[in-house]
Structure formats: C-alpha cells, structure tokens
Amino acid sequence: MKHIVKIMTFLVAIIATWISLLQAAMIPQSHTWLLPLYFIVSLGCYGLFMVGVGLMQFPTCPQEAILLQQDVIEAKQFLKRKGVDVGSD
C-alpha cells in the first residue's frame, strides 16, 4: 500500500508541474506539450535500467540448480516410461 501512495504522489507532482508550466508560459507552448512524451520515454529508460541492474545483481543458487537438474532427470525418466520421446541426453 505504501508503494502506491508514493507512485500517486509522484504522478500528482508531475502533473502539477506540467500544468504550472502550461499556465506560466515560461517554456514555449510547443515544448510544454511534449513533456508527457519525455516523461514516458524517461520512465521506459528507467525501467530498462532497473531491469539491467536487477539482472546484474541476480543471486546464484547452486543448491537450487542441483535440485532443478535432479527434477529434470526425474521428469525425463518418467516421460520415457510413459513412451514419450524426450530427445537425447
């Protein structure tokens, strides 16, 4: 619930800034209407950056990898017993 409050506060602040720039005419009108587009592009870049950081910091779990390999071997044996071709090992 706290996260949604942060997001909503951020969006309200962005919208208020955009409206104030439209009203104050400090920035040319042609540039002000592009601010939402710039915001969306910036948000996409930020999202891609965070995904990249998350992938770089992804923890390795050797114990889970061993368990997963055992499950795959067990599943292949089960499918072979049922007559399903699971490819070569």
The string of pLDDT tens digits covering residues 10-50 is 889 988 887 787 777 766 767 767 777 887 898 899 999 99
Higher pLDDT, 6 or 29: 6
Residues 72 and 78 sit within 8 Å (Cβ to Cβ)? no
Four-residue CA torsion sign, 58, 61, 62, 65: negative
The reply to whether the predicted model has a pTM over 0.85 is no
Amino acid at 48: L
Q: Identify the pLDDT of residue 20.
A: 80
CA 23, 27, 28: angle at the middle one, nearest 5? Answer: 95
In whole angstroms, give the CA distance from residue 20 to residue 39. 16
pLDDT of 89 higher than 60: no
- What value does the mean pLDDT take over residues 66-83? 92
For residue 88, give both structure tokens: 């070569």
